[in-house]
Structures are given as C-alpha cells and as structure tokens.
Amino acid sequence: MLLNLLPHLVNGVTLGLLFALIALGFMLILGLMEQINLAHGSLFALGAYFAFAISAPRLPLPQDLLAAWAAVPIGWRFAAALVFAPVLVAPFGVVLERLMRRTYGRDPLYGLLLTFGIAMVLEELIRAIWGTRDYMLPMPREISGGFIMLDLIWSTYRFWAAGFAILAMAGVWVIVERTRFGAMVKAGAHDPEIVQAMGIDLARLRVWVFVLGTMLAAFAGVVMAPMWGIRPHMGVDAVVPAFLIIVLGGVGSFWGAALGGLLVGLVVGLSGAYASEWSMLSMYLLLIAVVTFRARGLFGKKSVLEA
Amino acid sequence: MTHKWKAPARISRRSVLAGASALAAGSGAFMGPWKHNRVWAQGAKKPIKLGLTCDASGQYGNSGQDDMLGIRLAIDEFNAKGGVIGRKVEWITADTETNPATATRVAERFIAQEQCSFLIGAIHSGVANAITQVANKYGTVYLNTNSSAPSEAGENCSRVKFVWDGNGTNFSKAAVQNAVEKIGKKWLLLTNDYVWGHTTSASTKSLVEKAGGQIIDNLLIPQNTRDFTSYLLKVQQSKPDVIATAVGGDDIKALRQQISDLKLEDKAAWINNQQDWPDIWGAPDTLFGVFGTTWYHHLPLPGVEDFVKRWQAAYPKSPIPVPGNVSYNGYMATRELLRAIERAGSTNNLAVIKQLEGHKMSAADRMQHFDAYIDPVTHQVQQTIYLARRNAKPKDKSDLYEILSWAKPDAVLDDAAPGKCKLKADAEVPSYET
C-alpha cells in the first residue's frame, strides 16, 4: 500500500513546488503592493514565448547572426532562455506599474479591472506576434526524458523544474527578508507616509517590486513551458491556481504561498491517482476547507483589501 | 356642472390575477399556436445568412478556427458561382469559447436577433448540445461539424441537427476488435471528464468486453488538466496491455507532450480514439500510437490534391498550412447544406431537412475511400473511418500520418444510436423560411 502511495506523494511534492513557483510573482505583488495582478498569467505566457524565441531560435536578428546562435548547443540556449526571457518581460512590468498608479489607494476593484484588461491585451498581442498555433520548447537531452525510481519512469525535467522552483523561492526569500530593499518595500507597504518622510523614493520601489514580480511570472512560464506546451491562452492555466494558492496561504505571506503550493500539489496529485474525477476540484475543496476555519488563509494577516 | 372625484376601486390581488390570466389567454389565442413559425422578409437579392458557432478560445479554440476555415471556403466557392438559388451567402461568427453557456447565448442571438437561417460549427459536445437546444426551439437547421460524442446522434439527436464527424463508437469499432486480439486483453481508459469522453469510453468499454478484453481502470481527466504525472504513474502501476484515450483539445496536447518526454509510448499500446489535426500540428514529435481520423490531406484519392490547393490559396497565412479532418468536416457540411438548399429551391427548414435526410454522397465527391450517406434515423453522416499512426517516412513536413486501414461505414456503424435517437415529426418542428 505504502509502496503504491509513495510515488504519488513524491509527485505531489514536486507538483506543489511548481504551483508555488507559479504563485510566487503573484504573491510578491499582492503581498507587498496589495495589488491583485490578473495580468500575472499573461506575463507567465510571455515568458514562455520569449523563451521559445530565444531557444528555438526565432529572434528578429540578421540571418547570419541567427544561424550562429542556432549553432550554439541547445543546453546553452535553454539556459539563456531561463535568464533572458524574464529580463525581456521585465519592461512589461514597468509599463504595468505606470498604468496601475492611478488605482493606488482606491477601491481594489479598479486595479482588478485594469489588470484584467491588460491580460486580454497581452494575450491578443501574443496571438498577433506568434499566431494561434502551439509551440514546443526545445529541450537539452541532459535534462529531458525519463529515469527509473521506485520501479517507475519519472520525468527528469520535472525534478529540474522543482529545483528551479526551490531556487526562485530561496531567491525571493533572501530579497524580501534579508536585504535593505526588502525591508524598505515591506515598510512602504505597511506605512507609506513614514517611509516617504524618511526620504525613500517609494514610487521607484514600487516599480522594482512590479519588475521582480513580472520576472518571476515570466521565469515560471519558462520553467513550465516544456511540460505544459506553449499556446496563447496558457496564462489562464497559471493565474487561477496562483490566486487560489495565495488566498489559501494567506495574502502577503511568503511561507503561506510555499505551504499553499505544496498542499495544493499534494491534494491534486493524490486525487489524480485515487479519485481522478476530483483532481481539478480538489484544490477548490481544500480552499473551502481552509477558509472555513481560517478566513484569512493559513498565515494571513489583515490586509487593506479587506477595507 | 361639477365632477366629483371618485376614488378608484380597490385593486384586489384576485382581480390582478384574473386580469393577467385573461390577458395571457387572449394573447395566447392571438399569438398561438406556441411555436415559432417565422417568415422573414424575403427577396431575390436578400442574402442567406449563416451563423458560424466556432470556438476561438478555450480547450478547442484552435480547432474551432480551423473548422471555420473549411466552412468559409465552401461559402466562398458558392458565392464565386453566383450564390445559392440566386442569393449570396453571408456569414457571421462569434466565439463560443468552448463553453456551453456562451454557445447558448451566441446561438440565441444568431437566430433571434441576427436572423441567421442556419447554424454551423462545433467541436466540443457540450457546446454542440447547447446549440442544439436553441436550434430545436426555433426549428433552425444546425450542422454539428466536428463534435464526435456518440450522444450527438444518440440521446441528444435532433430533427434539425446533422452530425458530420465520425463518432467515438465508429472509431472504437475500427480499432478495438483487432487490438484485443493482437495486442492484449488488459485495457486502461483515459477519459476526458465531459460528454464526449464519457460516451466514447463507454462505447470502447462495451466493445472491449464484447471482444473478450477487460477494462482494468478508467481514469477520468477533468477538462483543462495540464499536469498528467499522477495519471501516468497510475498507468505504469496498473501495467495495462492497451491504453485507450478519449482526451481532446489542449488536454491531449499536454498529455502527448508528457508521455513523449517519458518515452512511455513504447511501454504499452496507445490508441487515441480520434486525433484532430489542429491538436497535433505544432507538436508532431509527440505523435504516437494508433489513432482514428476521417480524412487526411495526403490520401491518394482524386480531388484531394485540388482541394488542398484551393484551401491553401484561400488561406496563405493560415497557422496550419494544410487542411486536416476538422477543416474538411467544416467544408463538407457547409457544401452539402448549400447544395441541399439548391435542391430544395428554398431556405424552408423542413424542405432543407428533407433534402439532407438519407442523402447519398459518392466516395469521389467526399474524397474518401467509400460512399457516404446521411443516416435518416440519427442524422449522422456514415462515412469511411481511417486508422493511422505516425509516418516514419514523411514526404514533406506536413506528412505526419501513415494511414493503416480504412473501414466501410457499415462496418463501424454505431448500432446503439438508432435506439437512443428519437427524431420529431414535421408537425412538431417550428417551420421557417428566410
């Protein structure tokens, strides 16, 4: 029995890490800026498309330069995609923050509607540039394919992706909890007037938070693309679990997002194996169960969104 | 002379109810009988308006748009010849979003507000069934181009609906008997958790058991699932001889990608009930196993090459460079509808329905191996069913399939459908002419 269950527990943990990665950028902007960014999914999709452009390669470069880049081993091209796709998506975060300034301090619905509109614009932009067809991200052989564990074949890349998720989460934790930047941003979210009175440029800080959140969304898109495929509406697949995980874990809580992701992964993984028809619904049932007893989620505190 | 103001009589609840009942009865007599007999403004020059109910987003967004290309090609070809019964053919479309609720709204608007004479298009069985309900209410002829749930020509059939794709039972019949005998008796089903998946897998189960096989598990896959690892682990733990999938749209794309990555395609025999062309274009490396289809652009038959050229000339910038089964079904359905209007000499729905019921189409005309016909009992097109696998020696980049076999329509007939399908009589169908 345990031997049968063990693979699904391992799968649930890896899936949970991936869910947590998807939610990370969403958590950052919601937790530190108290803005619900519904464009998170579209930024996730943009990351996947930019990664495809870099590693396929389909870049708007002169023919000889493109041929030279295509001759570079796929492993390096994939590594470049992991680093540069989020960088290329970052300017979208700057624009997003500029557009959102008019909604600061107002009813959260304004920000919600604005980012919903931006999400639709970005999805149409993707269709206009790359068309409606699907793409597959070329992968280095070293990290794709399968390996045998517990007498079963497992996806090698899935464990790499879980590793990328751990790295991203560690990076965010260090930035938010162990740097001066993180301290200023948290203080700014808590009491913006005092922070500004201390001479800190809060407007600039907000831009950087959006850039970081945007890059994390794009990074998650790159990491998930080899498993989910690349298509214009793939963002919808990301934004729903991201939102759910943040509410489950508690708005603004880093550890809440991490634990929420893991719990959702475990529930979805186990229900997929033993009650497959419930696998999609299980995460919503988990959310209902948690918020019934803890209205602000696992580690949630009172937020301005509640005002 | 003075007029005394007189207080109005007190309006009792009873008098309101009585008045309302009288008004309802009166208007019923005036408006009745309660069916929508419509004769819209006509004229020799008035175009015939078609409502294209095609998904542009959601699980079948890509397929819906590919369907529309085939439909539009047929319309353009008729208009180039001067239209139908001397009238041009117009079309409008709206995104049905792979969502039955949206499809209901779109169909209602197309018929009641836009005055569309006919509705065409569907991939998702829930969407097709939703459109059918609305079409039934108005008597509007509806062509379900690509939804292949057996229920579409079974319990959800309709006098006003015609089903153009092969259904899950047709495809299962083409594959199951042979696979049970030659591959193995232990079968596992992967089923998309909606009408098409359920009815197709039920049909596969029945055929497997009839052939002496056994279903060891049936894993239901919710729509929009993106991570299949738990299912694939379960598949490995179950060790089946054959895995039969009834999974479609974006779900099958993600599933294929993850199976290919694990190289699981060689660990058991995979049978995909039906492989839609838009679901494999863009990821040809993930094509494996045996799968069903109704048409392929490299079939060595007269007319195929010409059709492909016409399609490509019409859509030089199409994201998918050649027509597949989905676009083909859209084209064939629309062409036959417009021909039926010509034969009827009218857009009267009952006259058009009569022209379509039992209509025979030659193999050459349909670019398939065998003659086809529209079953008058179920309104499903009975046609050649092909089994294919990935082509190891492609002629060009689009030559992805190797056609393994082709079955005659009567050999793969869905025997259960006629018993489940109850078509209305003429008198029960609201009539209209536009």
Angle between helices A254-274 and A234-249 (to 10 degrees): 120
For the entire predicted model, the pTM comes to 0.79
What's the pLDDT tens digit per position in B287-322?
A: 999 999 999 999 999 999 999 999 999 999 898 999
Measure CA B297 to chain center.
Answer: 20
> Which residues lie below 8 Å from residue B397, measured CB to CB, with a gap of 6+?
none
* The pairing of beta strand B381-382 with beta strand B372-374: antiparallel
- Given this model, what pLDDT does residue B33 score? 36
The pLDDT-based confidence of A289 (bands split at 50, 70, 90) is: very high
- Given this model, what pLDDT does residue A58 score? 87
Give A31→chain B minimum CA distance, Å. Answer: 27
ipTM for the whole complex: 0.81
Annotate A11-55 with DSSP letters as a single string: HHHHHHHHHHHHHHHHHHHHHHH----TTHHHHHHHHHHHHHHHH
The CATH homologous superfamily to which domain B48-166+300-383 belongs is Response regulator (3.40.50.2300)
CB neighbours of residue B267 within 10 Å: 17
Selecting from A134, A157, A271 the residue whose C-beta is nearest the C-beta of B253 gives A134
Give B14→chain A minimum CA distance, Å. Answer: 47
**CA separation for the pair A193, B266 (Å, rounded):** 64
Is pLDDT above 80 for A306? no
Report the residue of B192, B224, B234 to disrupt the A interface, i.e. the one with the largest count of A CBs within 10 Å.
Answer: B234
Angle between helices B325-344 and B349-356 (to 10 degrees): 120
- Given this model, what pLDDT does residue B13 score? 46
Each domain of chain B, given as residue ranges in start order, spans 48-166+300-383, 169-299+387-397+400-412
DSSP B151: G
The pLDDT-based confidence of B20 (bands split at 50, 70, 90) is: very low
Question: Is the preceding omega at residue B33 within 30 degrees of 0, hence cis?
Answer: yes
Task: State what percent of residues in chain A have pLDDT above 70.
Answer: 98
Annotate B224-269 with DSSP letters as a single string: T----HHHHHHHHHH--SEEEEE--HHHHHHHHHHHHHHTGGGTSE
Is pLDDT above 60 for B122? yes
The verdict on A149 touching B (C-beta cutoff 8 Å) is no
What's the pLDDT tens digit per position in B241-281?
A: 999 999 998 899 889 989 988 889 888 899 999 999 999 98
What's the CA dihedral at A182, A187, A189, A191 to 10 degrees?
A: -170
Distances (CA, A) of B244 to A178, A283, B270: 52, 27, 6
* The pairing of beta strand B242-246 with beta strand B186-192: parallel
The verdict on B236 touching A (C-beta cutoff 8 Å) is yes
- Given this model, what pLDDT does residue B43 score? 52
Mean pLDDT of chain A: 91
Give B397→chain A minimum CA distance, Å. Answer: 15
The verdict on B234 touching A (C-beta cutoff 8 Å) is yes
The verdict on A146 touching B (C-beta cutoff 8 Å) is yes
Quick one: average pLDDT of A74-102?
A: 96
Mean pLDDT of chain B: 90
Q: Could you check whether B48-166+300-383 and B169-299+387-397+400-412 share the same CATH topology?
A: yes
Which of A173-176's residues contact partners 24+ apart within 8 Å by CB, and which partners? Answer: A173/A254, A175/A212, A176/A28, A176/A32, A176/A254
- Given this model, what pLDDT does residue B358 score? 97
Which residue of chain A comes nearest to B254, CA vs CA?
A228
Give A47→chain B minimum CA distance, Å. Answer: 18
Task: State what percent of residues in chain A have pLDDT above 90.
Answer: 68
**CA separation for the pair B432, B434 (Å, rounded):** 7
Lowest mean pLDDT among A143-152, B181-190, B208-217: A143-152
**CA separation for the pair A258, A253 (Å, rounded):** 9
- Given this model, what pLDDT does residue A291 score? 94
Give A134→chain B minimum CA distance, Å. Answer: 5
- Given this model, what pLDDT does residue A229 score? 87
> Which residues lie below 8 Å from residue A267, measured CB to CB, with a gap of 6+?
A12, A282, A283, A285, A286
Domain range enclosing A22 = 2-306
DSSP B97: T
Residues 268-297 of B with CB under 8 A from A: 281-283, 285-286
Is pLDDT above 70 for A217? yes
> Angle at the Cα of B115 (from B113 to B117), degrees rounded to 5?
150
Q: Spell out which residues of chain A touch residue B234, defining contact as CB-CB under 8 Å.
A: 272-273, 276
Contact between B230 and A11 using a beta-carbon 8 Å cutoff: yes
> Which residues lie below 8 Å from residue B367, measured CB to CB, with a gap of 6+?
B295, B299, B301, B302, B303, B304, B307, B328
Confirm or reject CATH 3.40.800.10 for domain B169-299+387-397+400-412, answering yes or no: no
CATH number at residue A173: 1.10.3470
> Which residues lie below 8 Å from residue A57, measured CB to CB, with a gap of 6+?
A66, A69, A70, A77
- Given this model, what pLDDT does residue B236 score? 93
Give the closest residue to A298 by CA, choosing from A254, A240, A239. A254
Is pLDDT above 50 for B32? no
Lowest mean pLDDT among A39-53, A144-158, A205-219: A144-158
- Given this model, what pLDDT does residue A305 score? 58
Q: How many inter-chain contacts (A to B, CB under 8 Å) are there?
A: 117
Q: Is B410 left (phi over 0), alpha (psi -120 to 50) or beta?
A: alpha
Lowest mean pLDDT among A122-136, A273-287, B98-112, B416-430: A122-136
Q: Spell out which residues of chain B touch residue A155, defining contact as CB-CB under 8 Å.
A: 229, 258, 261-262
Lowest mean pLDDT among B73-82, B170-179, B330-339, B370-379: B170-179
Is pLDDT above 70 for B23? no
Report the residue of A22, A49, A239, A276 to disrupt the B interface, i.e. the one with the largest count of B CBs within 10 Å.
Answer: A276
Contact between B220 and A276 using a beta-carbon 8 Å cutoff: yes
What are A267's two structure tokens? 């529930």
Which residue of chain B comes nearest to A140, CA vs CA?
B261
The verdict on A269 touching B (C-beta cutoff 8 Å) is yes
Is pLDDT above 50 for B162? yes
Is pLDDT above 80 for B159? yes
> 3-state DSSP call for residue A132?
coil
The pLDDT-based confidence of B34 (bands split at 50, 70, 90) is: very low
Task: State what percent of residues in chain B have pLDDT above 70.
Answer: 90
Give the closest residue to A209 by CA, choosing from A170, A182, A243. A182
The verdict on B237 touching A (C-beta cutoff 8 Å) is yes
Annotate A206-263 with DSSP letters as a single string: HHHHHHHHHHHHHHHHHHHHHHH-B-TTHHHHHHHHHHHHHHHH-TT-HHHHHHHHHH
**CA separation for the pair B291, B389 (Å, rounded):** 6
What's the pLDDT tens digit per position in B396-423?
A: 999 999 999 999 999 999 999 999 999 9
- Number of domains into which chain A is organized: 1
